[in-house]
């Protein structure tokens, strides 16, 4: 069991972070030419949709977006309980694109490594960038986000939970603390 230790982002903070990230994406990539957003299932898909909507409002352009399931690319697949397979939905050519992988929380970097492996099986992007809502530290691989909504130092006993309205929840980011040992 876990208990809520803190609410670190509310709806307004999440919205502000996603608008800022959209502006940073546009500035770094000189607009939307060859730009695509790919959300990592599960939490990144909704965030990629929100980023695409922000970019549409700012630039008046629809950027291609997709969803990537990485279940079969995880390096811990044999040690984890079985997870249902999601669907990879990328309806545009990846080759030659500047693909921005989008996820909710960056922790060890293993999810992102799996996402890059999965993406490379679909083509050869011109560039791969990473946007995350929360970077909580504790990297095990040399992976750093290009765009971060909020850096939140955490302990390994804590978890970061992103809840979004698309999932039927109130938009918020929580730090959860384990009840074990009390």
- Kindly state the helix (H) or strand (E) to which residue 36 belongs, with its residue range: strand 35-40
Q: What architecture does CATH give domain 2-76+86-178?
A: 3-Layer(aba) Sandwich (3.40)
What digits encode the pLDDT tens for the residues 135-173?
999 999 999 999 999 999 999 999 999 999 998 899 999
Q: What is the pLDDT of residue 182?
A: 41
Query: Would the pLDDT of 76 be above 70?
Result: no
Match 């006993």 to its residue by tokens: 157
From 146, 142, 181, 178, select the one nearest 160 (Cα to Cα). 178
Query: Would the pLDDT of 73 be above 90?
Result: no
Match 């971060």 to its residue by tokens: 148
With beta carbons less than 8 A apart as the criterion, state whether 144 and 110 touch: no
Q: What is the pLDDT of residue 74?
A: 73
Domain ranges of the chain: 2-76+86-178
What digits encode the pLDDT tens for the residues 24-62?
999 999 999 999 999 999 889 999 999 999 999 999 999
Q: What is the pLDDT of residue 98?
A: 98
Q: What are phi and psi of 77, to 5 degrees?
A: -60, -35
d(CA 76, CA 80): 6
Q: What is the pLDDT of residue 181?
A: 47
The whole-chain average pLDDT of the chain stands at 93
Both tokens of 134, joined, read 């929360």
With beta carbons less than 8 A apart as the criterion, state whether 122 and 90 touch: yes
At 89, is the pLDDT very low, low, confident or very high (cuts 50, 70, 90)? very high
Q: What is the pLDDT of residue 92?
A: 97
With beta carbons less than 8 A apart as the criterion, state whether 140 and 134 touch: no
d(CA 100, CA 36): 6
């Amino acid at each position: 069991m876990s208990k809520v230790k803190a609410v670190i982002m509310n709806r307004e903070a999440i919205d502000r972070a996603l608008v800022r990230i959209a502006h940073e994406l546009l500035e770094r990539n000189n607009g939307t030419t060859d730009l695509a957003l790919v959300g990592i299932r599960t939490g990144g898909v909704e965030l990629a949709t929100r980023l695409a909507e922000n970019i549409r409002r700012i630039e008046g352009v629809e950027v291609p977006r997709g969803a990537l399931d990485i279940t079969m690319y995880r390096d811990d697949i044999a040690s984890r309980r079985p997870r249902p397979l999601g669907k990879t939905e990328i309806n545009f050519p990846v080759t030659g694109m500047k693909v921005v992988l989008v996820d909710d929380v960056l922790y060890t970097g293993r999810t992102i490594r799996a996402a890059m492996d999965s993406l490379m099986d679909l083509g050869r992007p011109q560039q791969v960038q990473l946007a995350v809502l929360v970077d909580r530290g504790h990297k095990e691989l040399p992976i750093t986000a290009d765009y971060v909504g909020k850096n939140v130092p955490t302990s390994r006993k804590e978890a970061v939970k992103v809840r979004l309205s698309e999932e039927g929840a109130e938009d918020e980011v929580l730090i959860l603390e384990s009840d074990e040992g009390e």
